[in-house]
Amino acid sequence: MPLTPTPFIWMDGDLVPWDDAKVHVLTPSLHYGWGVYEGIRAYATDAGSAVFRLREHIARLRDSARVYLMELPWTDEELVEAVRELCRVNGQESCYIRPIAYLGYGEMGVAPQLDAVRLSIAVWPWGSYLGDKAETEGCRLIVSNWQRNSNQTVPPLAKATGAYVNSALAKVGAQRAGYDDALMLTANGHIAEASAANLFLVRDGALITPPVSDGILPGITRDSVITFARDLGLPVTERSIPRSEVYIADEAFLTGTAAEIVPVASVDERPVGAGGVGPVTKQLRDLFQEVVRGRNETYARWLECV
Ligand SMILES: Cc1ncc(COP(=O)(O)O)c(C=O)c1O
């Protein structure tokens, strides 16, 4: 998806013009993929722009940094303020927000120097991640033959730049084969997640989603959906999902900050349920849209005003 530049990028506390936001080519983060990042969204609400679950995203950024032995040189409050300021100066009411912590260059080698942590934040307008057709008719998925990162290879619960080569291989393979996205399996043949989104199945009115112990990224949208479902009285089970169970689900949907809540139309050419947007998916998606647009008091705590 093409990027639409905005006036400024926040770099280590300074607002730098978009075209000048440069990093040295010898940063170890480029060579060895040692960096951590987040994907966040701000929405236009009736009370102005608001960032959805900003503090939880910052907490996950900090967790990812801990896994990679990086200390973020900014407090949570400073980062919240940086994001709010950046949305304001760029005049973005509704946008995608990308903080990234990486290493400044100094030494070269596979064991990078970890005390030169740099942080930048960019924002840009970003529409539907999987496209409008996927939103209305559901996305077409294929199970990838690339296995999802495991705890024995690259820590799956940290959102690390280098780890995404795994997701990218799966996504590129799926797109070249004519699909919207890929589902990735664990070493045991359980469904982990899509390349950049979590998976939910609906069976007999109940939700099933893989547990964090199956090597997924603990998605914040996933957590929001679990909270909605429980509040609506829909049973939710976090358990391993064998590949073939996806083929017999009544409904399936993906969740993610970029993707939001997208119905799944088919997996490996097998239609999921009746196609389109199933009733449970629709109920959760409508509620999600209401919440992020500030039209639901119950979850107002999740919105950080810009
Ligand atoms: C691999 C992966 N899984 C799941 C998600 C969904 O997480 P969230 O809902 O926090 O955006 C993402 C997106 O960040 C992701 O990259």
Alpha carbon of 151 to ligand 1 centroid (Å): 17
pLDDT tens-digit series, residues 147-203: 999 999 999 999 999 999 999 999 999 999 999 999 999 999 999 999 999 999 999
pLDDT digits (tens, 9 = 90+) for 74-117: 999 999 999 999 999 999 999 999 999 999 987 888 998 898 99
Looking at residue 129, its pLDDT comes to 85
Q: Which uninterrupted H or E stretch holds 269? A: none
**16-73 pLDDT per residue, tens:** 999 999 999 999 999 999 999 999 999 999 999 999 999 999 999 999 999 999 999 9
Mutate to test the pocket of ligand 1, among 126, 217, 260 (most ligand atoms within 8 A of CB): 217
The top-level CATH class assigned to 132-292 is alpha beta
Answer whether residue 275 shows pLDDT above 90.
no
User: Are 137 and 262 in contact, with CB atoms under 8 Å apart?
Assistant: no
pLDDT at 217: 98
Q: Looking at the domain 8-124, which fold is it?
A: D-amino Acid Aminotransferase; Chain A, domain 1 (3.30.470)
> Which residue intervals of the chain bear CATH 3.20.10.10?
132-292
**Statement: residue 10 has pLDDT above 80:** yes
CB within 8 Å of 269: residues ≥ 6 apart: none
The rounded distance, in Å, linking the Cα atoms of 8 and 124 is 10
For the chain, residues classed under CATH 3.30.470.10 are 8-124
End-to-end CA, the chain:
26
Ligand 1 atom closest to the CA of 156, numbered from 1: 1
Whether the CB of 166 sits within 6 Å of ligand 1:
no
- Of 51, 192, 30, 57, nearest in space to 118 by CA: 30
Between CA 191 and CA 183 the distance in angstroms is 7
User: Which pLDDT band holds residue 127 (cuts at 50, 70, 90)?
Assistant: confident
The pLDDT, as a whole number, for residue 100 is: 98
Beta bridge partner(s), residue 96: 41, 124
Residue 207 and residue 200 in contact, taking contact as beta carbons nearer than 8 Å: yes
Categorize the per-residue pLDDT at 238 as very low, low, confident or very high, splitting at 50, 70 and 90: very high
Residue 107's pLDDT is what?
A: 82
Active site residue 133: no
Res. 274: pLDDT tops 90: no
Contacts of residue 3, Cβ cutoff 8 Å, sequence gap at least 6: 124
Q: Is 222 in the pocket of ligand 1 (CB under 6 A)?
A: yes
* Cα 38 to averaged position of ligand 1 atoms, centre (Å): 9
Has residue 1 got a pLDDT over 80?
no
